Amino acid sequence: MDHFAGLDVSVKDTSVCIVDEVGKIVREVKVASEPDALLTVLRNPSYHFKRIGLEAGPLSQWLFSAMAEADLPVICVETRHMRAVLKAQINKTDRNDARGIAQMIRVGLYRPVHVKTLRSQKLRMLLTHRQLLQSKAIAVDNDLRGTLRNFGLKVGVLERPSSRRASGSLSKTCPIWRPWLNRCWLSGGYCASRSLSCIAAF
């Protein structure tokens, strides 16, 4: 007999509902939102899963990859379509959502979504964080030039080494600025170096 499972995933816990091919509930359980905890339930030899469904969300890629590596027939489904059906329930709880997902997976009432590989996810994360660090370094440069300009110290638009030398010569004429400039350049240089090391480490 074929079985179907619906997973309602939250940050802390995941509600699991397992139904048979006629829609009868076989088991309901709540486990931690961890791959090992889910695999302990889903790899039970008494179940023959045809499809396992979970909504797309913050943890779905991580859990999907773990279950796919375990050769489970897992499907990541489109959230808005699933939510439009589940909101018709009278009592909307995690347990009832898992029941609804399991029944929708059983009858084929879902829209699958593509899940990127872990390598693609890591590369995208690194590129996004590199862009963030670069923008912070540029923001430090712009803030330095704007702040110094208020006091008649004109640095201008320069590359990082030249700009640092220019502000260094300005700090000699006004020693009161030296500690502040050094700290700002230290933070800006850290952001720039980290942005370069992100891709190099990958």
Q: Which of 107, 133, 161 is the last residue of a domain?
A: 107
Query: In terms of domains, do 130 and 91 share one?
Result: no
pLDDT in tens, 135-190: 877 787 777 777 767 767 666 555 544 444 544 555 555 555 556 555 555 555 54
> What's the pLDDT at 202?
47
Beta strand pairing status for 49-55 and 3-9? parallel
Distance CA 125, CA 23 (A): 40
Q: Same domain, yes or no, for 160 and 126?
A: yes
pLDDT at 199: 46
Query: By mean pLDDT, which of 33-47, 69-83, 180-194 is the weakest?
Result: 180-194
Which helix (H) or strand (E) covers residue 50, if one does?
A: strand 49-55
User: Do residues 90 and 159 both lie within one domain?
Assistant: no
Is-contact 132 176, C-beta < 8 A?
A: no
Residue 67: count other Cβ atoms within 10 Å of its Cβ: 23
- The residue to which tokens 């816990």 are assigned: 13
pTM: 0.67
User: What are 91-129's pLDDT values in tens digits?
Assistant: 778 888 899 999 999 998 888 888 887 788 788 888 888
Number of domains in the chain: 2
Kindly state whether residues 96 and 175 are assigned to the same domain. Answer: no
Number of other residues whose CB lies within 10 A of the CB of residue 14? 23
DSSP H/E element including 26: strand 25-32
- Span 23-34, average pLDDT: 93
| Residue 196 clears pLDDT 60, i.e. is over it | no
Domain assignment present for 113: no
Backbone angles phi, psi at 26, to 5 degrees: -95, -40
| Containing structural domain, residue 153 | 118-201
Distance spanning both ends of the chain, measured CA to CA: 45
pLDDT digits (tens, 9 = 90+) for 125-146: 888 888 888 887 778 777 777 7
Same domain, residue pair 144 and 193: yes
